[in-house]
Amino acid sequence: MPREPEPDVRMDDLAPWKAGARTDALPHHRGEDKRLPLAEAVRRHVTPGASVVLGTCLEQMIPFAAAHEIMRQGIGDLTLVGPVSDIAFDQLIGAGLVRRVMVAWVGNVMMGSAYAYRRAVERGEPRSVEGIELKNVTRSQALHAAAIGAPFLPTRAALGSDLVGRNPWLEPISDPKTGEPLLAVRPLRPDVAIVHVQKADPHGNGLLWGSLGITPDAVRAARATIVTAEELVAPEQLSRDPNRVLVPGLVVAAVCEARWGAHPSPVQGYYNRDHRAYRDYHARTRTIEGCAAWRAEWVDGLRDLEAYVARLGNERVHALIPTEHHFAEPVDYGS
């Protein structure tokens, strides 16, 4: 019998399958230079009445420099969202710029009470602040739902608590399979996320390590993201360590070089937590007059982050730099 001709195999046939071109697809958007001075980034993307998610890495890498810039520009009527709010929230509240907080807790992690927050809630000074209480897990789920485009996420967390019924982000539902009670966590889409990272490139891609908290979800849930970075580096440097690039430039509106921009919180590998700053803030903000005096010295009286670092002084800054280094194991991305 004559042999059947062998099929004509082309290299294209061996390539991974890909969908056909869409006539309505947007053209490929090349990474653009998103570098801005911090003051300009805040001016453009944080507007009065905005909802802002901060402190997404828990106690590490809180973007204090950005919070101080919001205070200098007097951008108010804000809704603040965060996991461990720490004193960045308290400082914004003390400046009278906050109308609502969506948190599980507001305080000074090291010292206890956040006095500005207590004055706002208990006495309406300098203005009343509404509190929408979320468990850390349900707030994380709300951001995750927004990040993945889900209409809600089911959870058992907070069932049986008094959070249900007075929280618009939690709605009782039934499990469609078993009929058991669940809660639907609505998506939470902040207007802007402000995150601090160790390294970023001009396109906004952010590389970070250490405590990550809810950062990956927060930057994808927000309508815009401002990245502040200890270092701005070439894109090629980030591409050599792709698995730690956890903030994709495509969701970033602005990237700002901000060395020491998370002080007094720590940045893994760059500087330690400044316990003295937390103790000083706690002692001085016990009264509303003391809070105003602290703000005049550390925020309003300083033009920018560079002046803030100069105010700290070389000796204090040097004492915060790690003296022991623990490097990660090298990996091979070769093929």
Clarify whether residues 117 and 207 are in a common domain.
yes
Whether residues 85 and 157 share a domain: the answer is no
Pair 130, 181 in one domain: no
On whether both 87 and 107 belong to a single domain, the answer is yes
Name the average pLDDT for the chain.
88
> Do 262 and 204 reside in the same domain of the chain?
yes
Give the residue numbers spanning the domain of 260. Answer: 38-134+189-320
User: Taking residues 209-217, what's their average pLDDT?
Assistant: 93
291 and 226 co-located in one domain = yes
pLDDT of 246: 95
pLDDT confidence tier of residue 16, bands split at 50, 70 and 90: very low
Q: What is the pLDDT of residue 141?
A: 92
**Per-residue buried b or exposed e for 301-320, using 16+ beta carbons within 10 Å of the residue's own CB:** ebeebeebbeebeeeeeeeb
Tokens 């915060």, residue? 320
Domain total of the chain = 2
Q: What is the pLDDT of residue 25?
A: 41
* 179 belongs to a structural domain: yes
Taking only the tens place, the pLDDT of each residue in 57-98 is: 888 999 999 999 999 999 999 999 988 767 999 999 999 999
SS3 160: coil
Q: What percent of the chain has pLDDT over 70?
A: 90
- Percent of the chain past pLDDT 90, that is, above it, reads 66
- In a domain? residue 140: no
User: Does 16 reside within a domain?
Assistant: no
Query: What CATH number is given to the structural domain containing 302?
Result: 3.40.1080.10
pLDDT digits 0-9 by tens, 136-181: 888 899 999 999 999 999 989 888 787 787 788 888 889 888 989 9
Together in a domain, 118 and 54: yes
Task: Give me the pLDDT at residue 27, please.
Answer: 45
DSSP bridge partners of 197: 229
Examine residue 225 and state whether it is found in any structural domain, yes or no: yes
Question: Which pLDDT value is given to residue 333?
Answer: 84
Residue of 80, 87, 84 whose CA lies nearest to 102 = 80
Average pLDDT over residues 17-31: 46
Q: Please check whether residues 203 and 311 belong to one and the same domain.
A: yes
Task: Say if residue 69 is in the same domain as residue 209.
Answer: yes
Q: Looking at the structure, do residues 230 and 178 belong to the same domain, yes or no?
A: no
